[in-house]
Structure 1
């Protein structure tokens, strides 16, 4: 698997950011709130892909898409919250008003 060549996709109909890995899929489920903020609910990486940077790539690319669309986030998923805490200076501006880490 060449992780660098893979790109995260936003599947809006499913409200899911998705990274297709061979015959497995990593994803972040989300919901769009009434204010337009994106609630990042759940991240899942296939067990066989854990520890290879797949989750970090998925979160990083998902946040880049959200930023490009000038949206704000409310990270409910513990993995996403942890990623943002570890990279706080890069992502603080994406947090919706009142969002907690």
Structure 2
């Protein structure tokens, strides 16, 4: 398993993923309970998705937190979903 990660206020935020061809499966999101505000979640997920846009990847969110982010920001990121995947 691979992961994107960052530290905020000395606490780790990470998003685990697996890769198949050009599809990135976002599988597990972890954030320290002291940082569990939606602000930190959204900023981190947005930065990961923006990076994946630059890399021309398609994204399959399987983690509930990332699925919720996609639903909230559908118009911005629906182009990242592979054909046949809807959220």
Say yes or no: does 1:85 pair with 2:64: no
What are the within-5 Å matches in structure 2 for residues 36-75 of structure 1?
Answer: 36-51=22-37, 53-75=39-61
Greater strand share, structure number: 2
* Structure 1 residue 62: Cα displacement: 0.2
Could you tell me which runs of 5 or more consecutive residues in structure 2 were left unpaired when the two chains were aligned.
none
* Structure 1 residue 17: Cα displacement: 1.1
Distance between the aligned counterparts of 1:22 and 1:52, measured in 2? 16
Distance between the aligned counterparts of 1:68 and 1:42, measured in 2? 22
* Structure 1 residue 23: Cα displacement: 2.2
Specify the SS of the correspondent of 1:40.
strand
* Structure 1 residue 19: Cα displacement: 1.6
* Structure 1 residue 24: Cα displacement: 1.2
1:11 corresponds to which residue?
none
2:12 corresponds to which residue?
25
Could you tell me which runs of 5 or more consecutive residues in structure 1 were left unpaired when the two chains were aligned.
1-13
Contact 1:38/1:73 (8 A) holds in 2: yes
Task: Tell me the TM-score normalised to structure 1 length.
Answer: 0.80
